[in-house]
Amino acid sequence: MIIRSVQWDNVAATALREAQRIEIAERYGTDDSEPGPAPTADDITAFFVAFENDDPDAPALGCGGLRQLGASEAEVKRMYVTPAARGTGVSTALLDALESFGRSRGWSRLVLETGTEQPDAVRFYEREGFTSIPRFGYYADSEDSLCYEKSLIATDPALDTLCEGCE
């Protein structure tokens, strides 16, 4: 597996986000369950795609991005792994790349929102060291939202080299 930094409109990234949107719509029973504005190329600071290998035609396995919220933090956006690749370490590798990128920018924490109909995501983020926080920003009044944070300060420097094109 290889993690690459890609543009928002990358073909693989776009296809993965569409697959995620379909899955989320099925879980929540609506095409629009996002409380705030959807991320765009204009507000996503970094976006990564996991590929099966370094072949240019390799299948895309998952994705994730960061939306900078302030000078020292960012929000994890559009984390998604294809059903066939779940349980293979793709999500952990993507999250490691996001954290590495954040540390390279000097950010002190990452925050995220997931939902009540995504217990698999909740388990994953908690296992990866995220802790529950009060709903924030656009999610403050969303009963379906669950929010989390993770400090980037006390980390292993070896994690800073996990992805191509992080800087």
Query: What are the boundaries of each domain within the chain?
Result: 2-161
User: pLDDT for 41-58, tens place per residue?
Assistant: 999 999 999 999 999 899
> With contact defined as beta carbons under 8 Å apart, do 91 and 81 qualify?
yes
pLDDT at 35: 85
pTM (2 d.p.): 0.90
pLDDT at 164: 53
pLDDT at 22: 96
pLDDT at 14: 98
pLDDT at 133: 98
pLDDT at 156: 55
pLDDT at 121: 97
What average pLDDT does the structure give for the chain? 92
% of the chain exceeding 70 in pLDDT: 92
97-118 mean pLDDT: 97
User: pLDDT for 4-53, tens place per residue?
Assistant: 999 999 999 999 999 999 999 999 998 888 888 899 999 999 999 999 99
Cβ-count burial 6-27 (b if 16+ within 10 Å, e if not): bebebebbeebbebbbeebeee
| Domain formed by 2-161, architecture | 3-Layer(aba) Sandwich (3.40)
Q: 66, 63, 60, 68: which is closest to 21 by C-alpha? A: 63
pLDDT at 126 over 70: yes
The alpha carbon of residue 164 and the mean position of all alpha carbons in its chain are separated, in whole angstroms, by 17
Q: What angle do CA 38, 105, 52 make, to 5 degrees?
A: 65
User: pLDDT for 140-163, tens place per residue?
Assistant: 999 999 999 999 996 455 554 555
